[in-house]
Structure 1
Amino acid sequence: MADILIVGAGPVGLTMAAELARYGVPVRIVDRAAQATQTSKALVVWSRTLELMDRMGCTPAFLDAGLRAHAAAMRSGTTLLGRARFDDIRSPYNFALMLPQRDTERLLSLHLRSLGVEVERQVELAAFAEGPDGVEARLRHPDGREERVHAPWLIGCDGAHSAVRHGLGFEFRGSAQEDDWLLADIRFEGRDRPAPDEVSIFLHRDGPLVAFPMPGGRARVVATVGKADPGGARPDPSLSDVQALVDRRCGGDMRVADPAWLSRFRINERKVARYGRGRVFLAGDAAHVHSPAGGQGMNTGMQDAFNLAWKLAMVVRGQGAAALLDSYSPERSAVGDMVLRNATRLTDIATLSAPAAQAARNVALRLLLSLHTVQDRLANMMGEVEIGYAGSPLSVGHGAGARVVPEHYGGSAPGSGGTPRFLLFTDDVRRGTAVAARYPQLLDAPRKAVGPDRLLAVRPDGYIGLSAPPGDWDALEAYLRRLA
């Protein structure tokens, strides 16, 4: 079996390679960069991503390395407007795990290495052409040598400037926002410094300033600094620039020190209309980029990888029909649209410029964030546990497409082993065992029904594929025949 070719070794490509390798699918992962990310970049690993990582078997290493943030507090100067508590997230991981991207990549690379796969660095995708039974690709090595490879599938996890997306000719629709933003990894000092276990959002008439806690006592500061210069990029900020912003927008006794990274950026909001064609797929920033509000970008990309990996593994291993892959783009494109929409809204709310609109926003936030239902909804949205696939071609029946709460599995989660299979929940375990025997490639041994009295077929990624009345075995058989 030829190697599936993955282009890009950031968190998304590493997740994709690790999941395919765990399922026994041969992979090759290349990246044109000489080394892995050395800066903090994406900073949050959310609840749903951690749940999915349980199947990989590497969650403990991430928990040991990260810092657990338990809330996000919104303030206007020193006045608290409200707080969303991540403790309310309906997940075993009811917190935001703060972990610099360099450590995320390091831990994923170690996990991938334990599966026998190494990242090939300074290897660039020069060109590719799709064929009926695979993809012909040209890889350029650092010495200028070009290698021709045949891959049954090509997966572009190569970021916002994706060579794979350009090779497909897909339009990356969207725009860049007008504001310049400052980024600073620093240490806070002083009596009123932000809490070390929560995200602190300061809303100000000049624009927002957000402080994210980081492991090791550092914090990430992100703030707007005015309209972007159309004539060229501004120089990187200085520590005194950061201090001036903190003084003006946060108030109180708060000082910044010991900078590790100072930079500027602009927010781009772009997305492809579809996530692949034929034997070529896109995932992560190659398919969607958006505002960092909510810290959803890396998590959304990693979840793209989880979604595609089990489907591709089942097809490659002959466990399921190629039609499984047709669900990837509609499922993840809908999620991409939602994340883009939510991030844009959060950014727009935080960057309101009219004084009357700012005053109305602050009054509304104080009222809404006093309501537990609003706090709960906001926390679950940020933790990404509300993501579902109700409109998917793989979702059949009332409640299909919803995530199954992990504690309902009554054992190891679906997809935890080396073979991706659907998990059947039923009150009639004897009958379910007989069905599983007829579809051993698709179905794992059945388990006793949990929650509502339904016959459920749960996908390897923990979402309900089929939801039927408890005795509707014909519906289950029809569903399985379609996937086989």
Structure 2
Amino acid sequence: MPKPVLVVGAGPVGLTMAAELARYHVPVRIIDQSQGRTDKSRALAVWPRTLECLAASGCLDAFLATGLRADAIGIHTGSRRIGRIAFDQIASPFNLLLVIPQSETERLLETHLASLGGKVERSTELTAFTDTPEGVICRVRHASGENEEIDASWLIGCDGAHSFVRRTLGMAFEGDTLSTGFLIADVHLTGFAIPPNELAIFWHPDGALMVFPISPGRYRIIADIGTISGQPPNLGQVQSIMDRRGPGGVTLSDPAWLSHFGVNERTVRDYRADRVFLAGDAAHIHSPAGGQGMNTGMQDAFNLAWKLALVEQGKANPALLDSYSRERSPVARQILAESGRLTRLVLLRNPLAQRLRGFLAHRMLGFPEVQRAIVNRLSGIAIAYPDSPLNAGSAQGLRGPSPGQRFMPDLPIAVRDAARFTLWATDDTEARTLIGRYPSLLDPHLRAPPDGKGSWLVRPDGYVAATSRAGKWSPIEAALSKIVAKTAHPPKT
């Protein structure tokens, strides 16, 4: 019986990881030391690139039916709007921000995992592990107090910012903690004139106020408050901040969650140590500005799962797994830097700097190209792997994406249960021969290329692995031969 992959942590990242592995028919166990899913809204934003990945995994419809569609972000000072950033400019089939409480995200992902035959083992804690050349010997403790030894093929730590897996590996979590604290409140609002499908940011000399819709009449409020006291905020304190920094005339009631938090910006240098991987907050934590944290972690899972599936099934060289950290670590560092800059922009205290911020925002957001640049970064569609070791060839002179870039956002996204590359090329004898030579890696169906002058090799996660001029197969052949397991590579004819 094959060894399972052990996923530690059943938040959105761990559930995504387990579901993707199960979709690719990789034996997987997922454990979490908590008794049940979170009942808090926590992370709310699901951006278009994550929606594309959920579509490919086969569970997007449930998310769209549950979440609230947000179409824009508005920046305001009091009752005056400085600028508006519309999401309909995003070049994706899902040009929106889906607002959905994390409690619902976890519920939907757990349901999806169950449909694939998986189940979260609750009240189960990882207490020790030993990495060996053949696998990872993991010791877990169940709610009954009984200990179990799991002989896992791989261990994936999706166990959050205080990751036991990361700490056991001795990996440094490098970065900073901001001195400013924030309050967070999920409340009912009346008298709020902003459209219910729009996120609102209010700039005030005292600080920022962010108001995000969750469901009809209910909103998330975030505001910087300086030093955090020992006690969580009360509704009166949040109302006072709304009165001072907001548009006026807004009444808060029925709080579902009142808390405060600090902002950490930290990351590990490498997401892998032999047979142990880190993903999500275990590997990187960010400022919540831009709502990137959960999305980045879920995309870690989408990146790693297909690679692990191909290696576990003997179809790919184990060296393929080295690309996970090399691709995802730069993404996290870039998002960490961008969210940090955005947080510091929001926290400006100098009156002159605040006035200049408002003036520049008003002027710059009037340019469509500036808006597109912002939403492309926020949405995740601009994420690319230009330095990936999997890249080959060049798309110079071709109309289409280059190696490492996301491919064909306007095409329907197919759900597959096999981690296979797709070939977008003119249907000819040579293309068919190539598919025949790599049956374990290539989907048997050819797709029409975006430019008849070229050919594209596309990875299971939708990024370009290689490009070539039509009829010039050496870059695509090089990419495939680098990935394929030696035992799965037929001799050349």
Q: Do residues 237 (structure 1) and 233 (structure 2) align?
A: yes
Secondary structure of 1:208's counterpart equals strand
Instruction: Indicate the residue corresponding to 1:401 in structure 2.
Output: 404
Which residue is equivalent to 1:219?
219
**Do the aligned partners of 2:196 and 2:216 also contact (CA within 8 Å) in 1?**
no
Give the secondary structure class of the aligned counterpart of 2:82.
strand
* 1:444-483 correspondence to structure 2 within 5 Å: 444=443, 445-451=445-451, 453-483=453-483
Instruction: Tell me how far 1:252 sits from its aligned partner.
Output: 2.3
Aligned positions of 1:296-335 closer than 5 A: 296-335=292-331
* 1:299-448 matched pairs, under 5 angstroms: 299-398=295-394, 399-408=402-411, 412-413=413-414, 416-444=415-443, 445-448=445-448
CA displacement at 1:450 relative to structure 2: 1.4
- 8 Å CA contact 1:185–1:261 kept in 2: the answer is yes
In the aligned structure 1, how far is the partner of 2:244 from the partner of 2:431?
A: 64
Work out the CA distance in 2 between the residues paired with 1:39 and 1:475.
Answer: 49
1:74-111 Cα offsets, whole Å, 9 max, x none, are 01111211011011111111010000000000000001
Code of the aligned partner of 1:82: G
Higher mean alpha-carbon deviation, 307-316 vs 376-385, is at 376-385
Q: 288, 302, 319: which is aligned to 2:284?
A: 288
The Cα of 1:122 is off from its aligned counterpart by 0.7
Q: Distance in 2 between matches of 1:483 and 1:112?
A: 28
Contact 1:429-1:447 at 8 Å conserved across structures: no
SS of equivalent residue, structure 1 residue 61: helix
Contact 1:32/1:122, CA 8 A, preserved across alignment: yes
State the SS of the aligned residue for 2:341. Answer: helix
The answer for the alignment partner of 1:105 in structure 2 is 106
Does the aligned pair in 1 maintain the 2:46–2:98 contact within 8 Å? yes
Q: Determine if contact 1:429/1:448 at 8 Å carries over to the other structure.
A: no
Aligned residue number for residue 249 of structure 2: 253
CA RMSD between the two structures? 1.2
- Measure the CA separation in 1 of the matches of 2:428 and 2:251: 62
8 Å contact kept, 1:78–1:252: yes
* Shift in alpha-carbon separation, 1:412–1:91, aligned structure 2, 3 A: closer
Equivalent residue for 1:210? 210
Secondary structure at the aligned position of 2:204 is classed as coil
SS where residue 392 of structure 2 aligns? coil
> Do 2:177 and 2:265's aligned partners in 1 also have CA atoms closer than 8 Å?
yes
C-alpha contact 2:392 2:475 (8 A) present in aligned 1: no
Letter in 2 for 1:459: R
Q: Which residue matches 2:487?
A: none
Identity of aligned residues (%): 48
What amino acid maps onto 1:385 in structure 2? I
Match of 1:92?
93
Whether the aligned pair in 2 keeps the contact of 1:15 and 1:305 (CA below 8 Å) is: yes
Q: Distance in 2 between matches of 1:285 and 1:434?
A: 44
Q: Which amino acid aligns with 1:457?
A: L
Partners of 2:157 and 2:418 in 1: how far apart?
24
8 Å Cα contact 2:392/2:478 also seen in 1: no
- Residue identity in the other structure for 2:483: L
In structure 2, the gaps of 5 or more residues are: 395-401, 485-493
Question: After TM superposition, where is structure 1 displaced by more than 4 Å over at least 4 residues in a row?
Answer: none
Match of 1:38 in 2: 39
Letter in 2 for 1:465: A
